[in-house]
Amino acid sequence: MNSRTEASSDKVYHQVIEYIKELARDQKISFGDKIPSERHLMETLGLSRNSIREAIRTLEHMGLIESCHGKGNFLVNHMGESLSSVFSMMLFMKGSDYLEVNHLRKAMEIQAFHLALERLSEGEREKLMEIMQPIRDTDDYEAMMQMDHNFHKMLIECSGNHLLGQLMEALSQVCQEEMQLILENATKEYTEWWLSIHQTIYECLICGRREEGLAAIEEHYQWIEEKLKKIMQKSSAVKSN
């Protein structure tokens, strides 16, 4: 009854993880489905509820499971959110900063632009156009942030690379507050410039003007970098007071 004696590899809850992964691999359950209840897994695997729950906590943080109180545990695909929790922890522990995030985002967006140029479909063209329309009529910063987010997300989607998509989504979440700081203090002048940059990127993508598009992306992130530096100066000045 006690499976400690036949422990496969260190911690017992790995058994649970393997079991769930097995179920998933063999298509016995797929995304959105409920996995067996905790009390059920106890019996099936001959483990205590504690161990089951520790395993589920682990899987939850890998983005594979979502616990719903009163309903059950469900197989999901939230790995993006899982990434963002790690990133925000890195930032919290000063293992990185927003400038570094910005560099990474630029790198990914450039790559996405290259990929998108090579495989942009008609449907994506139209979707991009839809997204660009409201951008032009935007003036309050909240709407601006939303539009900006949609635009960049769509650009990444056009690359067809899901990994880039998930990563970028995670990074966006992590630096949402910083972006807000930047945009809410932007003057009207900046706002217009900001919009025009997006317009340029959009047109270049549609028309296949590679170099010009890359330059616009570069300029976009360069601008953010400068703003970030100002914010960081301010906050360090506050600290030293």
For residue 10, give both structure tokens: 């260190």
Q: Can you tell me the distance from the alpha carbon of 235 to that of 240, in angstroms, rounded to the nearest whole number?
A: 9
Smallest separation (angstroms) from its own copies to the CB of 54: 5
User: What is the sign, positive or negative, of the torsion defined by CA atoms of 116, 153, 106, 136?
Assistant: positive
Of residues 109 and 148, the one with the C-beta less far from its own copies: 109
> How many Cα atoms within 13 Å fall on the side-chain side of residue 27?
0
Of residues 73 and 200, the one with the C-beta less far from DNA: 73
Asked if 7 touches its own copies (CB under 8 A), the answer is no
C-beta of residue 17 within 8 angstroms of C-beta of residue 62 = no
For residue 83, give both structure tokens: 């990434």
User: What is the sign, positive or negative, of the torsion defined by CA atoms of 176, 177, 181, 184?
Assistant: positive
Of residues 46 and 165, the one with the C-beta less far from its own copies: 165
Q: Which of 60, 85, 83 is nearest to 73 (CA)?
A: 60
Asked if 111 touches its own copies (CB under 8 A), the answer is yes
Asked if 123 touches DNA (CB under 7 A), the answer is no
Which of positions 122-161 make contact with its own copies (CB under 8 A)? 161
Among 17, 29, 58, 67, binds DNA (CB under 7 A): 67
Asked if 18 touches DNA (CB under 7 A), the answer is no
Picked from its own copies, DNA, none, the partner binding residue 73 (CB below 5 to 8 A depending on kind) is DNA
75, β-bridge pairs: 65
Of residues 176 and 185, the one with the C-beta less far from its own copies: 176
72, β-bridge pairs: 68
Among 108, 128, 156, 179, binds its own copies (CB under 8 A): 108
For residue 220, give both structure tokens: 């976009």
For residue 197, give both structure tokens: 């940059």
Cα–Cα separations (whole angstroms), residue 91 to 81, 124, 201: 15, 34, 29
Among 38, 81, 203, 219, binds DNA (CB under 7 A): 38
Per CB under 7 A, residues contacting DNA are: 1-4, 7, 10-13, 37-40, 46-51, 53-54, 56, 67-73
**Binding residues for its own copies (CB under 8 A):** 13, 21, 24-25, 50, 53-54, 57-58, 60-64, 77, 79, 82-83, 85-87, 89-90, 92-93, 95-96, 100-101, 103-104, 106-108, 110-111, 115, 161-164, 166-167
